[in-house]
A and B are shown apart, each in its own frame.
Chain A
Amino acid sequence: NAGVTQTPKFRILKIGQSMTLQCTQDMNHNYMYWYRQDPGMGLKLIYYSVGAGITDKGEVPNGYNVSRSTTEDFPLRLELAAPSQTSVYFCASSYSGSNNQPQHFGDGTRLSIL
Chain B
Amino acid sequence: TQLLEQSPQFLSIQEGENLTVYCNSSSVFSSLQWYRQEPGEGPVLLVTVVTGGEVKKLKRLTFQFGDARKDSSLHITAAQPGDTGLYLCAGVDNTDKLIFGTGTRLQVFP
Range of interface residues on chain B?
20 to 34
Within 8 A of B (CB), among A28-46: 35, 40-45
Interface size on A, residues (CB 8 A): 23
How distant is the Cα of A107 from the Cα of B39 in the complex, in angstroms? 9
Q: Are B100 and A42 in contact (CB under 8 A)?
A: yes
Contacting residues, chain B, for A48 (C-beta < 8 A): 97
CA distance A4 to B96 in the complex (A): 21
Known: A40-B103, A98-B97. A105 touches B92 (CB 8 A): no
In the complex, A41→B3 CA distance in Å?
A: 12
Tell whether A99 pairs with B103 under 8 Å between CB atoms, given A108-B40, A108-B42: no
Residue of A41, A45, A105, A108 near B102 (CB, 8 A) is A41
- CA A41 – CA B6 in complex, angstroms? 10
Tell me if A's interface is mostly helix, strand, loop or mixed.
loop
Determine if A74 is an interface residue (Cβ-Cβ < 8 Å).
Answer: no
Digit string of B5-36 for contact with A (CB within 8 Å is 1, else 0)? 01001000000000000000000001101000
B-chain residues with CB within 8 Å of residue A107 when the two chains form the complex? 40-42
A44 contact set on B, CB distance < 8 A: 100
**With contacts A41-B102, A43-B88, A99-B31 known, what are 19 further pairs, Cβ within 8 A?**
A40-B102, A42-B90, A42-B101, A42-B103, A43-B100, A45-B97, A48-B97, A98-B33, A98-B92, A98-B96, A99-B92, A99-B96, A100-B31, A100-B48, A102-B48, A105-B44, A107-B41, A107-B42, A108-B41
Interface residues of A, Cβ cutoff 8 Å to B = 4, 35, 40-45, 48, 58-59, 90, 92, 97-100, 102-103, 105-108
Q: List 7 A-B contacts (CB under 8 A).
A: A4-B42, A40-B103, A42-B102, A43-B90, A98-B33, A102-B45, A103-B45
Binding site for A on B (CB under 8 A): 1, 4, 6, 9, 30-31, 33, 40-45, 48, 50, 88, 90, 92, 96-98, 100-103
